[in-house]
Amino acid sequence: MKSLTFLFLAACVWAHFVESIKLPFLTKKKYSPLLFFTVPKEYSPENDGLEKCVSQVEKELGVRVERLDVMRDPPSQALLALLTRQSPPLLYNRESCQVISFGGSKPARIDKSRVIAWAKGRYLPPRKQQGNSNEPMLKGSSSANDQEELLEDLSLTPLQKKGRDAIKEGTVSKAKSKP
């Protein structure tokens, strides 16, 4: 009887040990298309506000957002560098290739409706620039946008392109049908 109790306790300690270390070959992570590139708590107020918003969206929609701490995990930092030049906090959807950035020199206000749309994989139009609408556009900005779209097209598979186009068509038709 003592040996069974000892084995049971040893198994419990081992399970706790494996969970605390998170060895990749012993723990199975469920795939989540939603990534949240984050920094440690209380490091940035934008990050803390976005964490609250993402937690609420997870509860409301029943989805799981994978959090990647770029300051504590070098592979996460490398992945962020491959995906974008923007700084955390940042949300990335692997399936729709949507990026929402809240960091940078001018922190953006956290819009929960955009986060919900991101989590559902909907197309998110770029935010409107703050400032005077009479300001002239910079020369070459349209070619920079064309180059960005070309690079995006080259990085997507045909199935991803088809999905992106369907998302765009769906949001455009919904916008037209609203009175």
Asked if the structure places residue 12 within a domain, the reply is no
Mean pLDDT of all residues belonging to the chain: 74
pLDDT at residue 155 in the model: 67
CA torsion angle 110 116 118 119 (round to 10):
130
Q: Is the peptide bond before 24 cis (omega within 30 degrees of 0)?
A: no
More confident residue, 3 or 168: 168
81 in any annotated domain: yes
- CATH code of the domain covering residue 113: 3.40.30.10
- Answer whether residue 57 is part of any domain: yes
SS3 (DSSP) at 56? helix
User: Is 145 part of any domain?
Assistant: no
Poorest-confidence range of 1-15, 60-74, 98-112, 139-153? 139-153
- Within a domain: 169: no
Q: Is residue 41 situated within a structural domain?
A: yes
Tell whether 1 is covered by a domain.
no
What phi and psi, each to the nearest 5 degrees, are found at residue 35? -115, 140
> Residue 91 sits in which domain range?
31-126
